[in-house]
Amino acid sequence: MRLKKLAAAFLAALMLGGCASEQSSTAESSSQPTETTAAAATTTTAAATTAADTTSAASEAETESSTAEKPASEITPLMWEVTSDKGGKLVLMGSMHALTEDCYPLPEIITSALDSADALAVECDVTNTAASLAAQMSELQEMYYSDGSTIADHLSPEVLAGVQGFAEACGFSLALYRTAKPWVYTVLMESAVMSQTDLDLSLSIDMALTKLAKEKGKEIIELESAEFQTGIISGLSEETCEVLLSFYTADTKEQMVQQMNDMFTAWTKGDYDYFANANDVSSIEAELKTLTEEEAEHFRSVWLDYNEQMLFSRNRSMTAKAEQLLEEGRNVFLVVGTAHFCGDKGIVELLKADGYEVRQIQP
């Protein structure tokens, strides 16, 4: 892969900074695509049960682990404690929207953080099936072209051939997605990569913690909404999607799968530098120097715009809401995608810049 580091950076931004609701709905609902409105409506109805089904799966994984007296996992995702002079306290934790069975039961440091808090703050409540249905209905309207055009009219032949080859290498066909928009293909490619790993959306830590919090009678605070999150992905420009999809070819399959596995390993170990570097354009400058000046500027521009939409603007919004909770003297366990916390534009550094005391808990 010519730009391996940049490809990994895009993947990290989507997988660890992307949208929890999108991860648990679009990829799943798109798994059985159709070309007709009626069939698409059926797909949406089936997808509406995804949140409930995945909640059950996460619960069952926890229950089965408990029944078998399986020892707690040894994962050490990044965690911090933030306090304010108003008596507010936040425990921050970076999540990953798909995990493996080995991550459960959750370690005591995570369950204790939830037990000690009055509320759980998440990107959005992924167990809220009504909200998921509304988001998916809205999303479905944006998935397919209605003007008679096809994906071939919106992606270059080279990129389209690449993603088709990648999909085939992963064991499925894109034939039924002829009228789907480029942003749908970015989700499909992520899903294709995940299908080659042991990662499972139904084992999302966001899902498991939200359900556990509800069982314990904790308040759920949504920092965003399902509709907002689906809008981020569906709002990606064709230019951005073209760049994202250019990394997927039959020849890059193994490398993309390895990158996702590496990302998961970094998450389980709380490797801050891994995620900070993925958010930092300067870390990929060496690769960009292998391109022509025009090509490098194009990739840099798209990457910065993508990061602004997927991470940086949301980081600022989440930070403002976190600070509001601190100033209100709230005691909250705040869990969002790991990429939102790392780097000089991440939530941790933004809180420090605003004068809050931030102490890393683990690893």
Q: What is the pLDDT of residues 328-357, one digit of tens each?
A: 999 999 999 999 999 999 999 999 999 999
The pLDDT score that the predictor gives to residue 181 is 95
What's the start-to-end Cα distance of the chain, in Å? 32
Residue type (1 letter), 49: T
Confidence of residue 164 (pLDDT cuts 50, 70, 90): very high
Task: For residues 37-58, give the mean pLDDT.
Answer: 35
Secondary structure in 3-state letters for the chain: CCCHHHHHHHHHHHHHHCCHHHHHHHHHHCCCCCCCHHHHHHHHHHHHCHHHHHHHHHHHHHHHHHHCCCCCCCCCCCEEEEECCCCCEEEEEEECCCECHHHCCCCHHHHHHHHHCCEEEECCCCCCHHHHHHHHHHHHHHHECCCCCCHHHCCCHHHHHHHHHHHHHCCCCCHHHCCECHHHHHHHHHHHHHHCCCCEHHHCHHHHHHHHHHHCCCEEEECCCHHHHHHHHHCCCHHHHHHHHCCCCHHHHHHHHHHHHHHHHHHHHCCHHHHHHHCCHHHHHHHHCCCCHHHHHHHHHHHHHHHHHHHHHHHHHHHHHHHHHHHCCCEEEEEEEHHHCCCCCCHHHHHHHCCCEEEEEEC
Does residue 156 register a pLDDT over 90?
yes
Q: Provide the residue ranges of all domains of the chain, joining segments of one domain with +.
A: 4-362
Segment 65-118, tens digit of pLDDT: 444 578 999 999 999 999 999 999 999 999 998 999 999 999 999 999 999 999
Segment 242-266, tens digit of pLDDT: 999 999 999 999 999 999 999 999 9
Does residue 29 register a pLDDT over 50?
no
Does residue 59 register a pLDDT over 80?
no
45 vs 294, residue with greater confidence: 294
Percent of the chain clearing pLDDT 70 (strictly above): 80
Percent of the chain clearing pLDDT 90 (strictly above): 62
The pLDDT score that the predictor gives to residue 60 is 47
Distance separating alpha carbons of residues 8 and 1, to the nearest angstrom: 11
Confidence of residue 123 (pLDDT cuts 50, 70, 90): very high
Does residue 50 register a pLDDT over 90?
no
218 vs 30, residue with greater confidence: 218
Distance separating alpha carbons of residues 276 and 283, to the nearest angstrom: 9
Mean of per-residue pLDDT scores for the chain:
83
- 319: nearest Cα among 302, 343, 301, 294: 343
The pLDDT score that the predictor gives to residue 282 is 76
